[in-house]
Structure 1
Amino acid sequence: MGARGRCGGGAAGPVGVDRVVARDSLGRVLVAAASRALRGEDCADLGRRPLLARFPGAPEVVRRVALRRATARAAVPGAQVGVLDADRVARWVVDQYPARCYPGVVLGSPHGAAVHLAAALGVPWLPAGFEVTVDWPGGAADDPLAAMAYGSRVVAPLLAADPGVRVRQVHDPAARGALCGSTVALTVRWRRLPDAYRRFLGTRIVPGAPVLLLRDARTWPVLDPGEGHSFQVGGPASGLDPGDFLPHGASIGRLLRAAGADLGRWDPPSANAPDGHCEYAVEPDLEAGLRDWARGVGSPLHRVLYPRPAALSAAVADLYRRWLRRAGKTGDRCVVECGRLLDPAQVIRAGLVPYWCESATARAVAGVEWWLAGSEPFSSVDVLPEPPGLRSPALAGLPQWLAVASFGRRRRMVDRTAARGYPVTPVPTRHATAVLRGQPYDLPSPAPLRAVDVLAELRDGGLPQGLLIC
């Protein structure tokens, strides 16, 4: 992004990144939603149906084969991973935001509540990494050892060419099903502050404005030989525990059968791996680089670490309620979003209190149940369950989603379209927009939050949730 001073104009965003950043990845959707909120737009144009939504009427065996082929066609060829340009991806991210000055920035792990927080502050959200799906010819969902070897081979040229990144590979049949056998999932994390981010911070952020770094502090067994490529089987977003992915685990047999794979071949190489930060973590070197940049320009850097996504979701939802009430609104209507089904612009226009569930797992949904049970009652609770596109023993059933909606005093609604295809037929992000457009607007919107107030309220309401603010 070219700069002409502190708030100068910038060139149009680059092309060619569209295939590199996984189209169905959470981070990609969050950047799109955050940038639209700053333009005063909703997510009505985000109509891409996830790959797992395709071929819904086909027999399961036929559907698995068709999905594997479709995913492989959309993935990055393994031979091209070595020329992947992470700096170009960073330019693509910042170029999505309107060319004006901002009173701060939110940066870090992918989390829907982080995007709602950025929208309330009127600032951009910048991810600490991005997801890439790579074609795996001849792969097998039940052979994580081969997946690790293939992933190590294809990322070696990238790591040799760009020491500023690290790559976490995740082999998760609970989240990806049969797709684990045709592609490998990589999370590329920046080890240093990308040049595009540095220029953006230096030209688009008001001098001295605060920087909020939000970090996912969850851990998971990780094989990390220290060469820039690390590997994990499963992940905390699956709603399962690490032991569930072992050969004798209670869930792995069912997951592999659903993926058309064989439990007899399952031998995860990370069975005895030590715990490390999960795939959504922020690289320590990136945090150090951001701290050095902030110190150099006189901007305060504030870190918010959350032990589980529900803690940040609850703290931001409470913050929204207080924000709305200070603006003279009721703060009495709640929307429970899930995964990619969110729209921060519509939430603010309607004066809603948003609680974001990372996924449709029973564990994630239990988090919102506990929060609602301990909150002052809401007059209405609307629920947007995201069908993940496959079945898993960790998923919440529709009765659990209905129990969430039942906390509404007058209005209790689980979106029928999402529920009708649950859990095997995902819907696009714009479906959340269509649902939220049906909510009565509560205008004018409150004045943007100030970072100093956000930090005070997160300390007040987030500490009991386990948030660490420093």
Structure 2
Amino acid sequence: MTKRQAQDSVAGFDSATAMVRALAAALRGERFTTLGQPKVAEAPLRLSRWLPEAARTGIYRIAGAAEGAKPEELGELDLAEVAEWLAGHYDGHDRYPGVLIGSSNGAAVHLGAVAGVPWLPNTVLVPVKWPDNDPDRPRAAMEFGRDTATALLHNNPDLALHHMHDGNQDRLMISAMSYFRLKWLELPAAYQRFLSERLAPGAPIVLLDCTLRWPVTKVAERHYFQTGAYGGLEPYEYLRGSPQVERFLAEQGSELTAFDAPEADDTAPEAEWGLSPEFGAAVERWAAEHGHPVHRLAFEDPQDLSGPVADLHREWLTGEGVHTTRLLVESFVLLDPVGAARAGLVPYWTPFPVRRARDRLAEYLRDRPFTELEVLLFPHGVRSAGIAEPEDWLALAERVNFPATDRKTYPADFRALAEYGSAIGRMADRDITLKSSIEAVIEGLGI
């Protein structure tokens, strides 16, 4: 059996890998377009708009499943090599004046870009091929994980598996794969080397600590199963059902009225966004031993940072002579720090295009001077329960534009994955590079 390369073991469509690519590009002064994929990836995404919806969603499902590892390959995966690959994105710089480490967060990517510091993630996604996965039956998915994860965990004793199954927002993707999210419990050797060699003496470490927890079923030591995920539904709706879930499943043609979920017997850090407490403690130990101060930036909801980061960007743009009333509403991995600055847009990141995110943005806008919104909507291909349709965003400002989205084909408008970069590029007519010190960022956030 040929051993899989580190970059082939983790999902390119995931928050961690995409955000590492986005920040690494920004530190090189480059824009983040087409999710950091090669230019040739744009053509099929753009041409997909001419296909019927069933064909578009089918291709999306197949493309996602193509990234998955086969179950029999899991015992060969070495996540130490993945850590090396992630840290390797930040080359070409002698010593960094600081570092971000921990939870995935799109708003934090903008902070890293302005402060000129990298980010190292706590969590990565290993997609596992499984053509028999039924989005409505998480109980069966848990048993699949029980049968297939033993060798993976045995060979990677410094990680915990948070097997996530979201039959709502991830419905298309998991129909042919299973999401194995892995969280480091220790500071991987590659991260330690990177910090020792590339971090300036005494430079601050900002620990991104998303404290969001989720009900889980403990399958084995270091192995948790999570039904559902942060987004449009609450945990209890995944586990016990609700009228909203019943309507959604009926619309999808399911024979069930609620997800067939196992009973939860514990809580754990949310699979995608939550920080492993053990990892946070390991970072603090390493920092104390090597003379680096740690500033823990704790927040419960992934969107909690978006408002403060947007406010800082408005101050920085004002300092560059740009008095803007335009807000760029980013969505999941549709972000572009360099492009947003050049367009004179204040970035406000939302984890997903759901009503929860829309309502949080509405609260933020109540006492802010923004009159025009450029709204990016990540296309996950299904009208999931809790989704915020394009029309739901229109009342938030005097002018609301959807520069990358075809409202008629959303949420199966996969052209947006290529078009968002072009849309921002058309607005990026200023020679602006936002810069601030990591110390000023720390002071501005009050940590």
TM, length-normalised to structure 1: 0.86
Partner of 2:146: 152
Partner of 2:329: 336
Per the TM alignment, residue 248 of structure 1 is displaced from its structure 2 partner at its CA by: 3.8
Alpha-carbon contact 1:173-1:259 (below 8 Å) kept: no
Give 3-state SS (helix, strand or coil) of 1:30's partner.
helix
Alpha-carbon contact 1:333-1:378 (below 8 Å) kept: yes
Give 3-state SS (helix, strand or coil) of 2:298's partner.
strand
Partner of 1:314: 307
Which of the numbers 354, 361, 373 marks the counterpart of 1:361? 354
Partner of 1:425: 413
Partner of 1:44: 33
Give 3-state SS (helix, strand or coil) of 2:407's partner.
helix
Per the TM alignment, residue 163 of structure 1 is displaced from its structure 2 partner at its CA by: 0.8
Partner of 2:96: 102
Partner of 2:74: 81
Give 3-state SS (helix, strand or coil) of 2:170's partner.
helix
Per the TM alignment, residue 403 of structure 1 is displaced from its structure 2 partner at its CA by: 2.1
What is the CA–CA distance in structure 2 between the aligned matches of 1:203 and 1:385, rounded to whole Å?
A: 39
Please give the residue correspondences for 1:263-302 in structure 2 after superposition, counting only pairs within 5 Å: 263=256, 266-270=259-263, 272-279=264-271, 280-302=273-295
Alpha-carbon contact 1:191-1:286 (below 8 Å) kept: yes
Partner of 1:437: 425
The answer to whether 1:394 aligns with 2:394 is: no
Per the TM alignment, residue 58 of structure 1 is displaced from its structure 2 partner at its CA by: 4.5
Q: CA 1:17/1:429 → structure 2, altered by over 3 Å: closer, same or farther?
A: farther
The answer to whether 1:449 aligns with 2:436 is: yes
Letter in 2 for 1:335: L
Per the TM alignment, residue 113 of structure 1 is displaced from its structure 2 partner at its CA by: 0.2
| Unpaired runs of at least 5, structure 2 | none
Partner of 1:5: none
Per the TM alignment, residue 348 of structure 1 is displaced from its structure 2 partner at its CA by: 2.2
Letter in 2 for 1:357: T
Q: CA 1:255/1:75 → structure 2, altered by over 3 Å: closer, same or farther?
A: farther
Which has the larger displacement, 224-233 or 39-48? 39-48
Give 3-state SS (helix, strand or coil) of 1:170's partner.
strand
TM, length-normalised to structure 2: 0.90
Q: CA 1:196/1:248 → structure 2, altered by over 3 Å: closer, same or farther?
A: closer
Partner of 1:3: none
The answer to whether 1:117 aligns with 2:117 is: no
Q: CA 1:69/1:431 → structure 2, altered by over 3 Å: closer, same or farther?
A: closer
Give 3-state SS (helix, strand or coil) of 1:107's partner.
strand
Which has the larger displacement, 40-49 or 351-360? 40-49
What is the CA–CA distance in structure 2 between the aligned matches of 1:117 and 1:191, rounded to whole Å?
A: 25
| Amino-acid identity (%) | 33
Q: CA 1:69/1:353 → structure 2, altered by over 3 Å: closer, same or farther?
A: closer
Which has the larger displacement, 176-185 or 193-202? 176-185
Which has the larger displacement, 435-444 or 143-152? 435-444
Alpha-carbon contact 1:221-1:273 (below 8 Å) kept: yes
Alpha-carbon contact 2:249-2:257 (below 8 Å) kept: no
Give 3-state SS (helix, strand or coil) of 1:415's partner.
coil
What is the CA–CA distance in structure 2 between the aligned matches of 1:108 and 1:31, rounded to whole Å?
A: 12
Letter in 2 for 1:116: H
Alpha-carbon contact 2:206-2:297 (below 8 Å) kept: yes
| Unpaired runs of at least 5, structure 1 | 1-13, 460-468
Per the TM alignment, residue 18 of structure 1 is displaced from its structure 2 partner at its CA by: 3.3
Partner of 1:23: 12
